[in-house]
Structure 1
Amino acid sequence: MPKSPRKRALSSPHDALFQWTFSQREHAVGLLKAALPSSLAAAVRWSTLRVEKGSFVDRALRSRHSDLVLSARIGEGRVYFYVIVEQQRDVEALMVFRMGLYMMRLWEQIVRDQPGLKKLPPIMPVLIHHSDTGWTAARAFQDVVAVDGPERAALLPHVPCFELRLIDVSGGRAGDLVEQALTALGKVVLWCLSVSGDDARLEREIARTAAALDEVLQAPNGLAALEALLRYLVATHARFSVRKIGRLLEKAAGPRAQEAIVTTLDEIERRGERRGRAQGERRGRAQGRAQTLLELLTARFGAVPAEVSARILAANEAALVAWTTRVLTAPTPEDVLVEDGKRPAPARRPAARKRARRS
């Protein structure tokens, strides 16, 4: 049974839910069949679908873009599917350019992993988009290249040529998506992504997911899926309590789901309480070590400089342990806090004012 995205859900709920769901072959096959042109979907040997390693999104953008790379046999070779799910409130005008960068990074990795390759495998770029307005920017790379007039026809053969396969779930729409191909969990996940942060839509539309939710809960990994969904909804609807979201799900899924939902909510709350206690214990240990270190420094050197004291009080437990071992050998309080063999640079003093010349 796939594990639920407990740790990742706290820091990146979109990435956690998307990766956990569509890294499972059953749901990934449903998503791709729903997203691709029917002729291409019919040619893919779906039994060979696999998840590829690696993420190609810039670190600074990972809160807005989550990516997943899959591949499958088609004809005599493999086709790669580069899927990005986008969670932002505006439309990025050059998203097709950014997708092109990510595709090049994927090709670069493929060539590195397969030395001697003579031809590149095809990559199908799929964008799952959600914004307040819906998609309004270019899908084709050629359309973001600023060349007009008679020169355009002469230049276009020298410009990269590809087009995004767009799945726009903004406002509950699902443009270019064959929803019948999705699994029940796939349908619920895309709906959850589309209502992210919109409390009114969550309450207004959750009844539409009733049949799919019931099917999700009856699946072998139903409890894990339910926990993943609950964690995502709690993380993206901060004004709603855990219990309120649970009641909304109970109302949509019906009485058969009530026990599973209550059990899952209880477990989420117990884990939260345990995590809070553990964090409190770690903070307590760090504070105790910091106080001990300050007392040792005072006993050996006298009054501790304010900047040294501030660094100690803000440090984590690992740093405090390392610094405490240096108290007996370091020549000064500042040398106790040396990192990687280098003493911290002294604070810059303000330049002395020039004395006025005597007349």
Structure 2
Amino acid sequence: MPKSPRKRALTSPHDALFQWTFSQREHAIGLLKAALPPEVVAAVRWSTLRIEKGSFVDRALRSRHSDMVLSARMGAGRIYFYTIIEHQRVVEALMVFRMGLYMMRLWERITRERPGLKMLSPIMPVLIHHSDTGWMAARAFQDIVAIEGPERAALLPHIPHFELRLVDVSGGRAGDVVEEALTALGKVVLWCLSVSGDDARLEREIGRIAAALDEVLQAPNGLAALEALLRYLVATHERLSVRKIGGILEKAAGPRAQEAVVTALDEIERRGRAQGRVQGRAQGRVQGRAQTLLELLAARFGEVPAEVSARILAADEATLVTWTARVLTAPTPQDVLGDDGQRASPARRPAARKRARRT
């Protein structure tokens, strides 16, 4: 049974839910069949689909979008599906440029891993988008290159040409997809992405996915899926309580969902308490180290300056360990806490004292 996306959900609930769902082959195949042109769907050997390792999104941009790479056999080679899910609710005008950059990085890795390659594998770029307005920017790379006048026709053959395959879930419905190809969980996940942060729409439009949600709960991993959905909704609807969200899902899926929802909520709360205990122990350990360091400083130097005490009480555990190791050799409390590059080295201090005496 797939595990719930506990760690990733803390920093990126959109990415966590998407990765957890569509890294399962059944749901990934459903998403791609729903999003791709019929000719491509017919040509791909879906039994060979696999999830590729690695990400090509710049680290600084991972709070705005994340990616997943899949591949499958098509004809004599493989086709790659480069999928990006956006975390922001605004339309990025140059998103097609970023997609092109990431595709080039993927091709670079492919050629590095297969140095004798004579032809490149095709890459299909797929963008999962949700915003208040829906997608309003260019889909084709050539449309973001500023060329006007009669020279445009002459220059276009020399400019990269590709177009995004867009899955726009804005407004509660996935645009440009064949919804019948999606699995039940795929439908529910795309809908949850579309209403993230909008409490009123969550309650008002939950009926759209009632049948799909009921089907999810009947699946062998239904409880794990329900927990993943609840975690996502709790993270993206902070004004609603966990129990309130559970009640909304229970009402949509009917009486049969009651036991599953209660079980999932209990598990979320149990893990929350366990995490709180772990965090509490870690916090207590840090506080203990800070108090020990303050006592050592007081024993050696006397009263600890207020600014030194404040820095110690705000420091993390690794920093406190480093500072404690300096207590026996540092000449002042400030030197215990000072940056290595800023503290005078032992060899330089005597010279500094001599200069002080001469003045």
Tell whether the structures are fold-level matches, with TM greater than 0.5. Answer: yes
Quick one: distance in 1 between partners of 2:80 and 2:307? 54
Instruction: Tell me how many residue pairs correspond in the alignment.
Output: 344
Find the residue that maps to 2:73 and give its secondary structure.
strand
In structure 2, distance between residues paired with 1:159 and 1:137: 19
Per-residue Cα deviation, 1:44-76 (whole angstroms, up to 9, x for no partner): 011111111111112222222121100011111
Task: Indicate conservation of the 8 Å contact 1:337/1:343, yes or no.
Answer: no
SS at match of 1:249: helix
Q: Is this contact kept in 1: 2:90–2:131, CA < 8 A?
A: yes
Could you tell me which residue of structure 2 aligns to residue 235 of structure 1?
235
Q: Which amino acid aligns with 1:270?
A: R
Match of 2:61 in 1: 61
Q: Deviations over 1:130-166 (max 9, x none)?
A: 1111111111000011001111011111100000001
CA-CA distance at 1:179 after TM superposition: 0.5
- Distance (Å, rounded) in 2 between the aligned partners of 1:321 and 1:279: 19
Task: Indicate yes or no: 2:261 matched with 1:261.
Answer: yes
Match of 1:206 in 2: 206
- On the 8 A contact 1:334/1:344 being kept in 2, the answer is no
Partner of 2:161: 161
Say if 2:329 is the partner of 1:326.
Answer: no
Q: Say which SS state the counterpart of residue 149 (structure 2) adopts.
A: coil
SS of alignment partner, residue 217 of structure 2: helix
Letter in 2 for 1:250: E
How many Å separate the matches in 1 of 2:209 and 2:174? Answer: 14
- When residues 197 and 153 of structure 1 are mapped into structure 2, their CA distance, relative to the original with a 3 A threshold, is same
Whether 1:182 aligns to 2:186 is no
Deviations 1:265-290 (A, max 9, x none): 01111211222222122212211210
Instruction: Please say if 1:31 is aligned against 2:25.
Output: no
Q: Check whether the contact 1:198–1:237 (CA below 8 A) recurs between aligned residues.
A: yes
Between the aligned partners of 2:219 and 2:132, the Cα distance in structure 1 is 33
CA distance in 2, matches of 1:258, 1:207: 16
CA distance in 1: counterparts of 2:42 and 2:101, whole angstroms = 28
8 Å contact kept, 1:334–1:343: no
Contact 1:169 1:191 in 2 (8 A): yes
- The amino acid that maps onto 1:127 is L
Letter matched to residue 12 of structure 2: S
Q: What is the root-mean-square deviation in Å for CA atoms of aligned residues?
A: 1.6
Is the 2:335–2:343 contact (alpha carbons within 8 Å) kept by the matching residues of 1?
no
Matched, 1:197 2:197: yes
Stretches of structure 2 that go unaligned for 5 or more consecutive residues are: 345-359
Shift of 1:307: 4.0
Q: Which moved more, 1:70-79 or 1:169-178?
A: 169-178
Query: Using the alignment, how far apart are the partners of 2:234 and 2:37 within structure 1?
Result: 35
Deviation by residue 1:237-275 (Cα, 9 ceiling, x = unmatched) = 111100000001111111111111101101111211222
Cα drift, residue 299 of structure 1:
1.1
Match of 2:352 in 1: none
| CA apart distance, 1:296 | 0.3
What is the CA distance between 1:215 and its match in structure 2?
1.0
Gaps of 5+ in 1: 347-359
The aligned residue for residue 277 of structure 1 is 277
Q: Using the TM superposition, give the Cα deviation of residue 301 of structure 1 relative to its aligned residue in structure 2, in angstroms.
A: 2.1
Q: Residue 325 of structure 1: CA displacement?
A: 2.9
Give the conservation status (yes or no) of the 8 Å contact 1:36–1:165. yes
Question: Is the Cα contact below 8 Å between 1:15 and 1:66 reproduced in 2?
Answer: yes
Partner Cα separation in structure 2 for residue 343 and residue 165 of structure 1: 52
Aligned to 2:127: 127
CA shift, 1:345, in A, is: 5.6
Q: Is the 8 A contact 1:17 1:189 kept in 2?
A: yes
Distance in 2 (CA, whole Å) between partners of 1:300 and 1:343 is 24
Q: Distance in 1 between matches of 2:240 and 2:226?
A: 17
Please name the residue that 2:84 is paired with. Answer: 84
Rounded Cα–Cα distance in structure 2 between residues aligned with 1:306 and 1:62:
39
2:348 corresponds to: none
Q: Per-residue displacement from partner, 1:3-48 (whole Å, max 9, x unpaired)? A: 1101111211000000000011000000000000001011001111
1:106-125 paired onto structure 2 within 5 Å: 106-125=106-125
1:245 aligned residue: 245
Higher mean alpha-carbon deviation, 222-231 vs 105-114, is at 105-114
Q: Which amino acid aligns with 2:220?
A: P
Partners of 1:87 and 1:131 within 8 A in 2 = no
Give the TM-score, by structure 1 length.
Answer: 0.92
Distance 1:330 1:210 in 2: 67
Partner of residue 173, structure 2: 173
TM-score by length of 2: 0.92
Secondary structure at the aligned position of 2:10 is classed as helix
Moved more, 273-282 or 72-81: 273-282
